[in-house]
Structure 1
Amino acid sequence: MADKNTDNQALSEEELQDLVASSDAGARDPEGSVGMLLAIVAVVWSLFQVILASPLANYILPGDIINNSRQIHLAFAIFLAFMAYPAFKSSPRNYIPIIDWIMALAATFIALYGFIFYQKIVDAGGLADNTDKWFALAGLLLLFEAARRALGPAMAIIATIFLGYVFFGSSEIVPDVIRWKGASLKKAMSHMWITSEGVFGIALGVSTKFVFLFVLFGALLDKAGAGNYFIKMAFGALGHLKGGPAKAAVVGSAATGLISGSSIANVVTTGTFTIPLMKRVGFSSEKAGAVEVASSVNGQIMPPVMGAAAFLMVEYVGISYVEVITHAFLPAAISYIALVYIVHLEAVKTNMPTLGDRVVSMGKTIGGMGAFFAGFAGLCYGVQYPVRWVSSLFPEGSGLIMSILIFLTYVWLLRLASQVPDLEPDDPNAKEVTLPVVGEIYKAGLYYLLPIIVLVYFLMIEQKSPGLSAFWATALLFVILLTQQPLKAMFRGESDTANAFKNGVADLIQGLIDGARNMIGIGLATATAGVIVGTVTLTGVGQVMADLVEFLSGGNLVLMLVMVGLLSLVLGMGLPTTANYIVVSSLMAGVVVELGAQSGLIVPLIAVHLFVFYFGIMADVTPPVGLASFAAAAVSGGDAIKTGFTAFFYSLRTIALPFVFIFNTDLLLIDVSFAHGVLIFVIASIAILVFTAGTMGWFVTKSRIYESVALVLIAFVLFRPDFVMDRIQPPFTNVAPSEFTQALGNAEAGQELRVVVSGPDFDTGETKETTLVMPIDGDGDGAKRLEQTGLILLEQDGVMIMEEPSFGSPYAASLGSFDFYGDTPVNLASIQAPTSQMAKEIIFIPALILLVLIAMLQRSRVSREEKTA
């Protein structure tokens, strides 16, 4: 009876689309000439970004526009924000009040201020004068109001607090620990608005250069029909299994997550179909919604798009885009594997019925899907060989020839698609649900894979910039949207090709509009986050935060990571994922790396950024504000808070994984060979499944408490074999500081020495320690290797005193915070030299044996229960 009542609360399709619009693209939709104007502005913004990313940008666009593209990007975003987002819930939706027009035009002008008065600002050395500072202040206030409308009040409030700290940081009401001298209005406005340190900084630059094209790519691909195709294929492949609709939701959301950066849009797009079907086979409203939430939110951690964070990591971490998505791939993949298993266990625990009458084994299904993904990956990789062959034969015209070959391939795949009916969205509430047959429908959308192959090829094989890669993939989507309907009509012998072409043009224009409207929030988020980043660089509060967090955590790295995770969750309750990631990584990433070094753990910067990002996306799940959970509850008719808590429980692996890869960077495929990478993938997949079984309380059968505890411990050992091995055989042995030169000489090339340096802090004078990791390269005796490090050591009474390292030497930056000229000398506190240790992978053997024993124990219990039954 409860289910009937909650079902009545489910929103209609129109209300759901309004929910997505109000949170992602703006709820206002005026009609008539004003609506047409907004559509034209959105189309012009999309076309401008496409041209800006194209190889012809330097020939088509004036240099001034290219140099000031960030200002133009923000001008479009802020204009559309005031046009598309009402000021309050009670504000009109069908027309735009005059005050919004005034604010929109004023904000647009001030966003373009640096472009319009470019020469004046250059002549002034990039500093604001008395006129500039007032325009800049007005620009910030209008930006905060636009962010409040598009992103909610939290973003604007946090940015206002940081801006207030810039001005009033010297006030007595500010705690001593974070007090600073303060800044004048002119200096602050120069930093925040006139230069590229604040609003127009790295984050907005990434939004301008990369993110827009990927969001547009996703919007166009969805408009072409790829979203429905992915869902149909997932449902056809998995719908017949126990809990099939839920498994299809997971896989469908993973595929949709490749092209969508929005958790809420993902929930509604796939959830309107999958949630009713999940309820049909026995999932409660809350569990059905929770599965969809966990699936959709995880779409943001799935490369290549990762909800815009991947592109920000390129700039913040200083590594290539290919490296970012390589490091991010394994945790994302095993996270989805675990979610499919969670759904499977839920179905098995309650013995849920299956849909349809098709009988296909789980092994065959998994094998088929594995073969498809392996084949697709092989295809993306193998494309390079015919490309090289064409390039070698026709070095001058290879680009044109490849374009013709891609178009011919597209036409051939489209001809295949014309042989089967177009895929229409299914009705999940129909009396009888007919499962799609993959063998019959796969032809209908194979050509959707072409733009993805083009994107992956340019990114991974050619290693072009993300912007250029997305441009070529988007250009192909332009062709697909314009031609797919008329060409299909021709192949089917239909005569109505003119109307089909008109429909294609309409789809393309709508895709351009959707892409622009989906970018409003991201553009404003990156611009407003720039104020926070600018405050950090202007005031130096980042170092103060580091000291504060170190004090609160007592120097304990795990406790500090918990604090960073909680900070991400709390901020994420009011900030979109991208803004949350920018804020927390700007404040905390360096702190984690520094504190890790002091604790003797070398944490790669990419690991910290991924850690912050993972907790940032969890805010979409976590009650009381998890927006994705509210969207899922709106679809299912279930209780939003209960849906959120269930989704949080399903997402425990997303919370555990960041802690694991901070301490075991093998999971991020850092410095591992291909064969080692395959082993890591297999073991990590087993580990995450075992962890899932332990937390769900079900393995072969319902687990007893001690079995669940054992399964979680096995998962930990599989994830962290080094933790166990280091206690059996320590990887380092302590060496007296006076024997440092000898230890350097004895170490073999490829090994590492760990040197703990102790001394007074340059700012506070208090004694502190940091750990230097010294990789040993090449041959030579200890003295020669010591000279290469740039360290200058003197022995006094058995203590190794360190003088200031040579300028530009490898460790000069790491030791820059020490006071080498104080009364207390800087010295070598301890040295750890590498010692022989068995391969940590040996620990996998007893862990797997214990796993097999638990499985046998549970299987025998099942056999006894069946006999007694």
Structure 2
Amino acid sequence: MLTEEEQLEILQKYDPESNTRNVKGIFKYIVFGGLLAFSIFQLYTSIGTPFTAYIQRSIHLGFALALIFILFPARKKAGVKKNKVPFYDVILSLVSIGIGLYWPLFYGELVLRVGRVSLLDLIVGIAAVLLTLEAARRAVGLPITIIASVFLVYAFFGPYFPGFLAHRGQDVESLVQLMFFTTDGILGTPISVSSTFIFVFLLFGAFLVKTGVGNYFNDLAVVLAGRLTGGPAKVAIFSSALQGTISGSSVANVVGSGSYTIPMMKKLGYRKEFAGGVEAAASTGGQIMPPIMGAAAFLMVEFIGNVTYWEIAKAAAIPALLYFTGIWIMTHFEAKRVGLQGMSEDQIPDRKATLKKIYLLLPILGIILFLLLGIPTMKAALLGIVLTLVVSFFDKSTRLGIKDIIVALVDGARTALAVAAATACAGIIVGVVVKTGLGLSLANGLISAAGGNIVLTLVFTMLAAIVLGMGSPTTANYVITSTIAAPAIITLLMLDMPADATVPVVVAISAHLFVFYFGIVADITPPVALAAFAASGISGGDPIKTGVNSAKLAIAAFIIPYMFVFNPALLMIDSSFFEIIWVTFTAIIGMVAIGAGIIGYWFRKCNWIERIIIVPIGLLLIYPETITDIVGLGLFVIMMAIQWKTKEKGKVVIA
């Protein structure tokens, strides 16, 4: 298992959010106090919400920007080796505080002169835009800053763009007005979600970590799956799925659970690249795993409108099940193909002691119950924190004292910094899209380029989401694709409906989940697959080969979104209980076929002809239609019988 220093080194290399200074002296106390104050402010407003939108969001932005300039160095190479905070970062931090306080201090005046910008407003607004771009570059990465900057250039030079991209353009004053003095720009919907739902759920995750639940997930996974064929790989899948509930970052998830599981897989006999691929694929799936999905899922609630977070989580449940089932099946077949066994008894933690701590899962189960009962999302997260504190008192080893609570509040705020920067920067993009009408123009352009073909539109959208996701966090990726590509998908899905018809919930959720999925999959799609690269840093394997293996193992994520767009029964919307059970059953059987075809092993090794036949059979079973299910099941039984009859002696596949 990797040491904390080794884990930190990998995180800093592949995750911009972790490349922070290790501040000393007075700055250590300033940062600690600032992060604690940030969390206290957010908890205070989440309990009573005493502030207007402008004040709430601007203070949230001010906290994030000020702390980012102290914690995150201007150059990545500076890292933790240069712990001194330069004078210019102190100045930027102080200016950020001023920006955060501008709306609270001058709220009355700003509201009275809405639509007009004074000279001071102009200066503050320009500073807010520039500091947001720089903070996003430091805490999130250069790609999102470049994308947001391109959108600003587009807004300014609109008349000079060709064809449908042309618009009348915006001057500096109107852009500043849009970006900082309306709720359509930096202080728009993305940062609204960051300053409410996302922050509280990040705090919930931080409290879970302090109880030791992350290590418990690993122990529980080993107890439940360690003895199975290819045990460590299945441990990685199980623990990463659980870890995803407390980590919104694919890379952080890889390092957190992979430092434990990847060495185990290598020791058992898995190839370096395959071991890293398993962990990367499983860790990336944590963001699509209900009940607590990635931060973009909370944005989805606001962007779609008229839906609850529970509806989003429920819709994502079967696709997430299929995702992890697919990885589980393929690691199993790979283990059988290579002849790997499970872990030995002396490698398994004490079962009785591990199962005795099963109460640590109560906060997560509680969140599910709270959402199911219709409790508002933010209040459910607050109750989850309270339940975590209560559960922690069940045992001395998990009990949280005052110091632990304070550290959890600080850690939660620290993880929120990059999210705040990303959502503020994404607000710039959304503001330009709304103001210039670019969203509608690009949606129409996308439909035109695809010739009105829904399949081609989905393929173009998938490629755009993956390319954008190679350098942008899921939140920013989702904001861009949901404002540009999702409307195109919705338009084509509603062609047979009246022109003035309201967009059905099932159509909106399927379109938005489609772009959400592929934004996440970008983390394991070569050539830039950050989660896979982080896994290769632990396994010692080739980064690109690790990425190829992770993408292959996560094949369900490339298939399922197409299926639920064409037939949303997989989303459990407007479907009967029997339909849901049948769709789930056939889809899992389909994943068995696809897994066997991709790995090249079922009851025995498959030849290339069998592999070519088996994969389409799996696709037929995954697609939720009666005729495809009947044909697929028939062919599945035939191929299974052939495999069984001709299997090598003793090569029976068992779980």
> What band does the TM-score fall into relative to the shorter chain?
over 0.9
The answer for the alignment partner of 1:388 in structure 2 is none
Residue 720 of structure 1: CA displacement?
2.7
Question: Match for 2:452 among 533, 541, 555?
Answer: 555
Match for 1:337 among 325, 347, 370? 325
The corresponding residue for 1:346 is 334
**Are the structure 2 counterparts of residues 52 and 64 from structure 1 closer, same or farther at C-alpha, using a change threshold of 3 Å?**
closer
Name 1:195's counterpart in structure 2.
182
Match of 1:118 in 2: 107
Q: Tell me, in whole angstroms, the C-alpha distance in 1 between the residues paired with 2:572 and 2:99.
A: 45
Does residue 101 (structure 1) correspond to residue 90 (structure 2)? The answer is yes
Once the two structures are superposed, residues 344-373 of structure 1 have per-residue CA deviations (whole angstroms, 9 ceiling, x without a partner) of 01100000133215xxxxxxxxxxxxxxxx
Secondary structure of residue in 2 paired with 1:658 = helix
How big is the shift at 1:475?
A: 2.3
1:126 deviates by 4.8
1:728-747 to 2 correspondences below 5 Å? none
1:776-802 CA distance string (max 9 Å, x none)? xxxxxxxxxxxxxxxxxxxxxxxxxxx
* Equivalent residue, structure 2, for 1:581: 478
Structural mapping, 1:526-565, within 5 Å: 526-565=423-462
Identity %: 39
* Map of 1:466 onto structure 2: 377
- Counterpart in the other structure of 1:133: 122
Tell me, what secondary structure is at the counterpart of 1:68?
Answer: helix
Contact 1:327–1:668 (8 Å) recurs in 2: yes
Instruction: Tell me how far apart the structure 2 counterparts of residues 672 and 203 of structure 1 sit (CA, whole Å).
Output: 31
CA distance in 2, matches of 1:281, 1:637: 16
What's the counterpart of residue 427 of structure 1? none
Q: Which residue is equivalent to 1:446?
A: 358
Q: Is the 8 A contact 2:45 2:51 kept in 1?
A: no
Tell me the alpha carbon deviations over residues 810-868 of structure 1, each in whole angstroms, 9 at most, x when there is no partner. Answer: xxxxxxxxxxxxxxxxxxxxxxxxxxxxxx3x6533422221111111111125899xx
Aligned equivalent of 1:803: none
**C-alpha distance in structure 2 between counterparts of 1:563 and 1:857, whole Å:** 39
Between the aligned partners of 1:860 and 1:600, the Cα distance in structure 2 is 51
Q: What's the counterpart of residue 567 of structure 2? A: 664
Are 1:212 and 2:199 matched, yes or no? yes
Deviation string 1:216-275 (CA, Å, 9 cap, x unpaired) is: 111110111111111101111111122100001000000111221111111011111110
- In structure 1, how many angstroms separate the alpha carbons of the residues matched to 2:624 and 2:176? 52
Amino acid corresponding to residue 349 of structure 1 in structure 2: R
Contact 1:25 1:517 in 2 (8 A): no
Q: Using the alignment, how far apart are the partners of 1:266 and 1:142 within structure 2? A: 29
Once residues 864 and 102 of structure 1 are traced to their aligned partners in structure 2, the CA distance between those partners, rounded to angstroms, is 73
- Per-residue deviation at 1:12? 5.3
Per-residue deviation, residues 253-305 of structure 1 (Å, max 9, x unmatched): 00111221111111011111110110011111111111000000000000122
Q: CA 1:312–1:175 in 2, change beyond 3 Å: closer, same or farther?
A: same
**How far has the Cα of 1:574 moved from its partner?**
1.3
Does the aligned pair in 1 maintain the 2:327–2:553 contact within 8 Å? Answer: yes
State the partner residue of 1:176: 163
For the aligned residue pairs, the C-alpha RMSD in angstroms reads 2.2
- The 8 Å contact of residues 430 and 483 in structure 2, kept in 1 or not, is answered as yes
Say whether the 8 Å CA contact 2:186–2:427 is kept in structure 1: yes
Query: Match of 2:632?
Result: 847
Q: Distance in 1 between matches of 2:69 and 2:523?
A: 25
CA deviation after TM superposition for structure 1 residue 509, in Å = 2.1
Alignment of 1:398-797 (within 5 A): 433-443=346-356, 445-461=357-373, 463-480=374-391, 483=393, 488=396, 504-598=401-495, 604-720=507-623, 722=625
Cα distance in 1, alignment partners of residues 30 and 58 from structure 2: 21
Please give the alpha-carbon distance, in whole angstroms, between the structure 1 residues aligned to 2:490 and 2:521: 22
Match 1:159 to one of 125, 133, 148: 148
Give deviations 1:196-227, integer Å, cap 9, x for gaps.
01111111111111001111111110111111
Query: Unaligned regions of 5+ residues in structure 2, if any?
Result: 499-503
Provide the residue aligned with 1:326 in structure 2.
314
Matched residue, 2:501: none
Does the CA contact (< 8 Å) of 1:314 and 1:324 recur in 2?
Answer: yes
Does the 8 A contact of 1:11 with 1:637 survive in 2?
A: no
Q: What is the aligned partner in structure 1 of residue 70 from structure 2?
A: 83
Aligned AA (2:364)? I
SS in 2 for 1:273: helix
Q: Post-superposition shift, 1:64?
A: 4.0
Which structure exhibits the higher relative contact order, with contacts defined as CA atoms closer than 8 Å and separated by 6 or more residues? 2
Task: Give unpaired runs (5+ residues) of structure 1.
Answer: 1-9, 358-432, 490-499, 723-839
Task: Return the letter of the residue paired with 1:128.
Answer: V
* Structure 1 residue 322, shift from structure 2 partner: 1.4
> 2:475 is aligned with what amino acid?
T
Conserved in 1, the CA contact under 8 Å of 2:66 and 2:93? yes
What secondary structure does 2:69 align onto?
helix
The residue matched to 1:28 in structure 2 has which SS? coil
CA distance in 2, matches of 1:38, 1:248: 37
Q: Is the 8 A contact 2:329 2:591 kept in 1?
A: no
Q: Which amino acid aligns with 2:410?
A: I
| CA distance in structure 2 between the aligned counterparts of 1:327 and 1:311, rounded to whole angstroms | 14
Report if the CA contact (8 A) 1:27-1:93 is conserved. no
Q: How does 1:386-397 map to 2 (within 5 A)?
A: none
Deviations 1:117-153 (A, max 9, x none): 1111110125423331221011101110010001111
| Residues 24-57 of structure 1 deviation map (CA, whole Å, 9 limit, x = unaligned) | 3442111122101101111111122122222xx2
Rate the CA distance shift 1:643–1:863 in 2: closer, same or farther, 3 A.
closer
Offset of 1:600 from its aligned partner?
Answer: 8.2
> How many residue pairs were aligned?
640
Whole-Å Cα distance in 1 between the matches of residues 215 and 430 of structure 2?
39
Verify: 1:14 aligned to 2:5, yes or no: yes
Q: Is the 8 A contact 1:629 1:647 kept in 2?
A: yes
Which among 280, 286, 291 is matched to residue 293 of structure 1?
Answer: 280
Q: Which amino acid aligns with 1:216?
A: L
* 1:759-779 Cα deviation digits (max 9, x unpaired): xxxxxxxxxxxxxxxxxxxxx
Query: 1: distance between equivalents of 2:236 and 2:94?
Result: 43
CA contact (8 A) 1:150 1:521 kept: yes
Tell whether 2:227 aligns with 1:240: yes
CA distance in 1, matches of 2:648, 2:257: 40
Aligned residue for 2:646?
A: 861
Task: Tell me the equivalent position of 2:30.
Answer: 37
With structure 2 as the length reference, what TM-score do the two structures score?
Answer: 0.93
More helix by share: 2
For residue 158 of structure 1, report the CA deviation from its aligned partner. 0.6
SS of equivalent to 1:199: coil
Give CA deviations for 1:92-129 in whole Å, capped at 9, x if unaligned.
63221110010111122113322221111110125423
2: CA distance between counterparts of 1:39 and 1:25? 16
What residue in structure 2 maps to residue 49 of structure 1? 42
Partner of 1:275: 262
CA contact (8 A) 1:52 1:66 kept: no
The structure richer in strand per residue is: 1
Residue pair 2:301, 2:309 contacting (<8 A) in 1 also? yes
- SS of the equivalent of 1:242 reads coil
- Counterparts of 1:341-380 in structure 2, within 5 Å, are 341-357=329-345
Cα distance between partner residues in 1 of 2:54 and 2:153:
30
TM-score, structure 1 normalization: 0.71
Distance 1:23 1:142 in 2: 17
Paired residues of 1:25 and 1:521 also in contact (CA < 8 A):
no
Aligned to 1:492: none
| Aligned-residue offset at 1:689 | 2.0
State the one-letter code of the partner of 1:633.
S
Distance 1:127 1:326, change over 3 A: farther
- What letter is aligned with 2:148? A
3-state SS in 1 of match to 2:647: helix
SS of residue in 2 equivalent to 1:164: helix
Q: Which one-letter code corresponds to 2:444 in the other structure?
A: D
Counterpart residue type for residue 605 of structure 2? K
Distance 2:386 2:624 in 1: 47
- Runs of 4+ displaced beyond 6 Å: 599-603
1:446: Cα distance to partner? Answer: 2.5
